[in-house]
Every structure is written in C-alpha cells, then in structure tokens.
Chain A
Amino acid sequence: MSVTDLTHAEVREILPAYVRDGSDSLTVRRHLAGCSECRSELARYEDLLGALATMGSVTAEPPPSLVASLRQIPHSAGTIEQVRTHLARNRRTYLSGAAVVAAGVAGAALLRTRRQTAPA
C-alpha cells in the first residue's frame, strides 16, 4: 500500500460525492478497481441515486379545490394579493380585536361561575 492509497473507510466516506461527480478521482478509482466490497457499496449508491432520480415523476394527487384555485390565478391574483397585503398591514388590529373578544368570553364565563357558586 503506497502513501497515496486510500483505506476502505476513506473511500466509503468519499463515495456519496463520488457516485455523481467524482469520475476523475484517480485514487478512488484505483481503490475500487481492486476492492469488490467498495465496488458493491458504490453500486448501492448508484442504485439509490437512480431511484431518487425517478421519484420526480412519482406524484401525490392534490386536493381538487387546490387545482381549481390554481386555474383561477389569472383572475384571482390581484384579489389574493390585496387580501394578503390588507391582513399583513392590519395584523396588529385584528390580533387586538381577537384578544378583546377572548377576554370578554373569559369574563362572562367567570361571572357565570361566580353566580352559580354564590350562596342563595
């Protein structure tokens, strides 16, 4: 083994990158030529990347309502933007409003509980 030779562990560390971009790595190629175990490991990576590459065409079916809204984008783009801008600008106001409503509901519940538990 010369000083430029790589160990199995070193080659296995390089393989995830070598499998796609490393065809000109002479030291790795030299190791692979004489090591069937590391060649098998490379084959596993090649298989894995081959499977990953085909997965782009493996798709999930989106909800029909989504497809309908995507088709409408030329009509609705302006409206959606207006609603989003309005919500973003008035976020604090809406959040304060929601907090007031929540406090009111909590207050009413507390009053009702006190009335129910108060001695007659």
Chain B
Amino acid sequence: MGRELISPELVDRCKAGDETAWRELVEATHREVYTLCLRILRDPDDAAEATQDAYLKAWKALGGFRGEAMFTTWLYRVAANTAISKHRTRARRRTHEIGIGDEVLGQIAASGSAETAATSRIEVAELERAIARLPEHYRTAVVLRDVYGLGIEEIAKQQRISATAAKVRVHRGRKKLKELVYPETTQEGE
C-alpha cells in the first residue's frame, strides 16, 4: 500500500470542519477501509458496523493526526483497531467462527483481479480463499503486515501481544499461506 489517496490539504480542510472535504475523504477511502474490516471480520454486516465506528473515531481524532505517517496508514490503523475489538467482542458472543461466503469472496476478488494478475501469478480469488482459511490470529497478522503495511509493533499493540509474538504470527501465517497456495510444494512434516 504505497500510494497515498489523501492529500495533506484535504486532511487540513477536514480538520477545519469542512464537510465537503470530509465527503471527498470518505469517497476516496471507504472501499479500502470496508474491505480491511471485511478481511478481518469475514462478515459483511459486522464489517459495515466496524467501518462506521472507525470513521466516527477518525472524525473525532482528526485533530490528533500530525501528518507523521501517511493519512491512509493512520486510517487503516484506526479501522484495524476497531475491527479487532469487534472481533474480540464477537468471539465472546459466539463460540463458532463465521465462514466467509463465496459471495463475499467474489465481491472482493471481482474488482482488482486485472491489476494483481499483472504483477503475480497468483489469482486474487485463490489468494482470498487461502487467507480466509488461515487461523484467525495468523490471518489478522498477515493481512495487517503484508496487505496494509502496518509495522510489527503496531500489530503487537492492536492484538495485545508482544512484538516477538506478533513476528511469530506473521512468520507462521506466511508459511501456512504459502502451503495453501502452493500445496504441491509442501513437504511432509512441514
């Protein structure tokens, strides 16, 4: 995620309470934020609720954004934090994991397959399916690190674990994901 969708000027206008600027900001970022929540929560209703909470938090905390990181990275951090909290609450409420439906997978995979196909031999839909099959704690760590570019310290803070444990989750998550995407190359005992 190297590209910045939001200019510092737009952020400044939002900070000043400019509602037109806020609508522009929402327009430019809401799909990414909703998809991030969907990848963590795997349920469209929960993802929509988390997205709304994340933007509400972002609106209230905008004054504290000093421009040290990219705005979208800051927004992803807020969204990831909200989605992870929601996941924790949901896990207490429900004992079983909700499986991501093919319809949801198709929704994510449909719009960006061309861009990804140009840079990798792995199909987007196949990768989404493999990500969905990862155990929850590995999935969240890999998605935040390798899809949204968050740092290990940040992931550790959000998942309430040590940096070493976060590093281990990313490491094992990548290994497991590689095994799912390339099953024919996985040796017995790995």
Contact = CB atoms under 8 A, between A and B. Distances in A.
Contact of A58 (B19, B116, B121, B174): B116
B24 to A, nearest CB: 10
Contacts, number: 131
A57 interface: yes
A22 B1 CA distance: 21
Contact of A56 (B22, B32, B55, B175): B32
B104 interface: yes
B35 A60 contact: yes
A81 B52 CA distance: 12
Contact of B185 (A44, A57, A67): A44
Interface string B26-61: 100011101100100000100110011001100110
Contacts of B108: 58-60
A66 B52 contact: yes
B107 A61 contact: yes
B26 A51 contact: no
A118 interface: no
Binding site secondary structure of chain B: helix
Contacts of A73: 22, 26, 55-56, 59
Contacts of B68: none
Given A45-B178, A77-B56, A58 B115 contact: yes
Contacts of B149: 53, 56
Contacts of A61: 31, 107, 111
A73 to B, nearest CB: 5
Contact of B119 (A17, A41, A51, A67): A51
B124 A58 contact: yes
Given A47-B121, A58-B108, A66 B178 contact: no
Interface string B70-111: 000000000000000000000000000000000010011101
A62 interface: yes
Nearest to A73: B59
Given A12-B190, A48-B178, A62-B51, A55 B34 contact: no
Given A48-B177, A62-B30, 5 more contacts: A48-B122, A51-B119, A51-B120, A66-B52, A74-B59
